[in-house]
Amino acid sequence: MKWVPTLRKEREGWGTRPSSSGQSTNQPLDTPKPPPVAPDTSTVKTYALEFPNLTKCTQLFFGPNFKFTYNNLPNIDGTSREINSPSYDRGSGYGQTDPKFVPDHGRATIFIDKHFWENYAAHYGASDPLVVTTYLHEAANARAIQQFTQYTRGTRAITGPLGRVPSYAQNHDYSRDNDIGQQFGECLTTPNWTYK
């Protein structure tokens, strides 16, 4: 079943492409449409905080003392990196967590592929589940780097929930992404998910 955010019900037009003038989008057919605009990062965060199972999965992965809020969710950089660059086509994803941009405390910055952000996210909007889950995937990686300080920095994002040693299934995840963000994303999107 496709996830429908509650905000969409409350605010008509939320998550759809707004008109440049902010007025009705019922334009005559012969009027060229303005190009889609990349979503506002704060809107993506708003939808991220509304994502089903977020509270439950956050507790499972980061313990009862932490919850994602608007103030601690990472910033989004969707314009500076071509993650799916033609010069580097080996395993291109939509998002990236660069530990250099994750401070020990405070707000991190995660990267979203420039083309994905400026095309897909612009077209489908901030409420699109792929946009939101990609963001939350990287947000979980960034949080793990800040929280699981018992490991070296480079190791923290590939631990299991609560910083435990990852299971064999996680280390050999058949989706081919064995980081905590992948497990977190599976928790968010899979009914009755359990860590294996």
Partner 1 sequence: MKKAVRLCLLFGCLAGYSCLDLLYAQNRTPKNAEVRILVKSVEMISQNEAHVKLTLINESTRTIFFTVNPFDVNMPEPLYLEQMRQKEGWTLFGPCVDNPPAAISKLKPGKTIGIDDRIGVPTISNCQVKPQNLLDSFRYSLEYFESYEDVRAYMRNFFPSSNPKRPHPRIVYSESFSIPGGWPRSR
Q: Please report, as ranges, the residues that interact with partner 1 according to CB under 8 A.
A: 81-85, 87-100, 111, 113, 116, 133-134, 137-138, 141, 152, 154-155, 157-159, 165-166, 171-179, 181-182, 185-186, 189
Q: From the CB of 183, what's the least distance to partner 1, in Å? A: 11
Q: From the CB of 84, what's the least distance to partner 1, in Å? A: 6
18 vs 167, beta carbon nearer partner 1: 167
Residue 183 token pair: 């497990």
34 vs 103, beta carbon nearer partner 1: 103
Report the alpha-carbon distance of residue 110 to residue 61 in Å, rounded: 19
118 vs 177, beta carbon nearer partner 1: 177
* DSSP secondary structure string for all residues of 160-185: -GGGPPPPHHHHT-TTS--SHHHHHH
18 vs 99, beta carbon nearer partner 1: 99
Q: From the CB of 115, what's the least distance to partner 1, in Å? A: 9
The CB-side HSE value for 76 (13 A sphere, CA atoms) comes to 29
Q: From the CB of 138, what's the least distance to partner 1, in Å? A: 7
Q: Around Cβ 24, how many Cβ atoms within 10 Å?
A: 8
**Displacement of CA 101 from its chain's centroid (Å):** 16
Report the alpha-carbon distance of residue 43 to residue 16 in Å, rounded: 12
Report the alpha-carbon distance of residue 16 to residue 159 in Å, rounded: 36
54 vs 140, beta carbon nearer partner 1: 140
Q: From the CB of 163, what's the least distance to partner 1, in Å? A: 12
